[in-house]
């Protein structure tokens, strides 16, 4: 019986960065015999047969996660290990994530010195299959799309 890990994040919604992260996680875990399930809502039913939950990647800490109170209580009880992988620390942290970070077995932040896992991989055809290839795709690191100097990430990068 293989391990089943649920991955919570912004997957399957056409965001190239998230789809690259999904590909990186699949490449990393599936070759180890670990089954990944990507889900955007956590409930006790969804958690009933998983061996762990990964939150990430990206800038998800400032929003409230889409989970029921019962699911939150299960995760806070440490019955199912919680992992944060490839998350951005440039935003405020929502109180629910603050609680979950305290019980997390692993917290892996992304930063300039350690690029997202997705940057080390080739772009899979599945990510590009619904795109107009004649126009090409430009990949821009997150820090390059900061809109103004008032952004919290801008200030964080300036201090670095």
pLDDT confidence band for 109 (50 / 70 / 90): confident
What local confidence, expressed as pLDDT, does residue 75 receive? Answer: 97
Please give the model's pTM, rounded to 2 decimal places: 0.70
Return the bridge partners of 53, or none.
Answer: 6, 82
Rg from Cα positions in the chain: 16
SS3 at position 3: coil
Tell me phi and psi for residue 102, to 5 degrees.
-65, -30
Digit-coded pLDDT (tens) for 1-52: 589 999 998 888 877 778 888 888 998 888 888 999 999 999 999 999 999 9
pLDDT tier, 110 (very low <50, low <70, confident <90, very high otherwise): confident
128 confidence band (pLDDT: 50, 70, 90): very low
Give the CA distances from residue 67 to residues 3, 4, 37, 55, in Å, rounded to whole numbers and listed in that order: 22, 19, 16, 12
- 34 CB contacts (<8 Å, ≥6 apart)? 2, 3, 4, 5
CA angle 77, 82, 84 (to 5 degrees): 145
């Amino acid at each position: 019986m293989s391990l089943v890990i649920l991955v919570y994040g912004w997957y399957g919604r056409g965001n190239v960065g998230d789809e690259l992260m999904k590909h990186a996680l699949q490449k990393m875990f599936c070759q180890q015999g670990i089954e990944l399930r990507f889900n955007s809502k956590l409930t006790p039913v969804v958690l009933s047969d998983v061996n762990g939950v990964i939150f990430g990647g990206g800038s998800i800490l400032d929003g409230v996660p889409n989970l029921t109170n019962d699911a939150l209580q299960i995760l806070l009880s440490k019955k199912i290990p919680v992992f944060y992988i490839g998350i951005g620390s440039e935003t405020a942290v929502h109180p629910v994530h603050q609680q979950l970070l305290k019980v997390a077995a692993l917290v892996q932040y992304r930063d300039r010195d350690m690029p997202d896992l997705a940057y080390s991989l080739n772009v899979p055809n599945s990510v590009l299959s619904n795109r107009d290839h004649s126009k090409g795709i430009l990949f821009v690191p997150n820090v390059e799309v900061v809109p103004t100097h008032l952004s919290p990430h801008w200030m964080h990068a300036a201090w670095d």
